Amino acid sequence: MEDKTFTISVYSENNVGLLNRISGIFLKRHINILSLNVSESEIENVSRFIIVVNTTEKWVQNIVGQIEKQIDVIKAFYHTDEETIFLENALFKIASNLLFDEKQIQNIIKESQSTIVTVSRDFFVISKSGRRSEIEELYEKIKPYGIMQFVRSGRISVSKQKMEISALLETFK
């Protein structure tokens, strides 16, 4: 089996220590987490972890099985990139003088479909949402002008297919 990128979605109660236990499952198997995002889900009082890994389907099946054994976990799913719609977000902090002195910066912002979030005397901030490759492309175009700060979020995603998590939770009521 060949390695592929998988997005693992974990629905859980929001309890202290769960993130540590979940990351330990990957550590024991020497599987690197490429991206991790935890937020509220569409279900009240239920959190959703989005974990991106590059491994074989056999390993991801084993991992999902181990995650589901955690007492706080309600349900875990895994999907390939083709089965999900996903984005990342990034912020670029750049010196303000470049916005006015380097006309190419304005073209780069427009062509990359980025947004200027704020402008101050010393800096301005660009926001970009998209696939990792789009953010990396913008980074490479802006890098020669000087980036004061850069941050990128973990992947956020939704599956193309319906995940029956809401129906599953109804059975527990």
Rounded Cα distance, 162 and 124, in Å: 40
Rounded Cα distance, 125 and 105, in Å: 12
Output the pLDDT for position 161: 82
Q: Which residues pair with 112 in a beta bridge?
A: none
Output the pLDDT for position 168: 63
Output the pLDDT for position 87: 94
Helix 57-68 vs helix 18-28: crossing angle, to nearest 10: 150
Helix 132-142 vs helix 103-111: crossing angle, to nearest 10: 170
Q: Give pTM, 2 decimals.
A: 0.82
Going residue by residue through the chain (173 aa), what tens digit of pLDDT does each one get? 799 999 999 999 888 888 999 999 999 999 999 999 999 988 888 899 999 999 999 999 999 999 999 989 999 999 999 999 999 999 999 999 888 888 899 999 999 999 999 999 999 999 999 999 999 999 999 999 999 999 999 899 988 887 777 666 565 55
Q: Considering only CA atoms, which of 75, 72, 50 is closest in space to residue 170?
A: 75
Q: Do the beta carbons of residue 43 and residue 137 sit within 8 Å?
A: no
Q: Report the sign of the C-alpha dihedral through residues 33, 133, 6, 18, in that order.
A: positive
Centroid of chain to Cα 120: 29
Output the pLDDT for position 42: 82
Other beta carbons within 10 angstroms of residue 125's beta carbon come to 16
Output the pLDDT for position 169: 59
